[in-house]
Amino acid sequence: VPTFGQQETLRDAPALLTQLAEVRTDTARILLQCKLGEAYRSNKPDTSSLLANEALSKSTELKFKKAEIHSLLVLCVLQREKGDLPNALELGLKALRLAQDEELPSEEVMSAVRVAVVYLAVKDLPKAISYLKSVDDLLQKNYDDFTRFAADYFLGVAYEQSNDLGAAEKQMEILQ
C-alpha cells in the first residue's frame, strides 16, 4: 500500500509549498523539501525524487544529519515503490546507521520502520519482525502516535504473512 505509513500526503503540498516560499533558513528549507518529497511520493514520484536528492545534497554539504536521514528515507521509499529493493534497503540501512550514530531516536524509529517494510517486500519476515520489534523498544521512550500505529500495523502484516495468525490478530486488536 504505497500511501500507508505516509505522514505527509498530496493534500498537504499546498501548505508545504507556502511554508517553503516563506522559510528563511537552509535547514528549514531542507526539511520542508523532505516533507514535500513525502507528500509527492505516490502521485509525483519524479518530483519527490528531485526534492529528496536536492535535500540530500544540501544536507550533506551542511553536515545536517537529521535532514540527510529524512532525505535518504524519502529515496528509500521511492526505490521500494519502484521495485528496486536492494537499493531501497541500502538507503534505509544508511539512514538507520546515521540515526543511531547521531542518537536521533525519532529518525531511528522511522528508519527502522522503512527498513522493515523493505524486508516485508522481499518476504524476509524474521528480519522485518525484528526491526519492527526494535521500534517498539524505541517508542517506549520516544512515543509518537503516527509511527506507533504504522509499526503496529506492519508488525501485524508480518505476522499474518508468516502465518502466525494469533500474533497477527493480537496486533490488529492493538490498532483498534
Residue 55: all three cell numbers together: 535535500
Q: What is the pLDDT of residue 169?
A: 81
Q: What is the pLDDT of residue 11?
A: 74
Which residue matches cell numbers 547521531? 102
Residue 99 near residue 111 (C-beta atoms within 8 A): yes
Q: What is the pLDDT of residue 112?
A: 95
Q: What is the pLDDT of residue 114?
A: 95
Is the Cα dihedral 139, 144, 150, 152 positive or negative?
positive
78 closest CA partner among 6, 25, 137, 166: 6
Mean pLDDT for back-to-back runs of 10 residues, the chain (176 residues) = 52 79 93 92 92 97 97 97 97 98 94 96 96 87 80 89 83 74
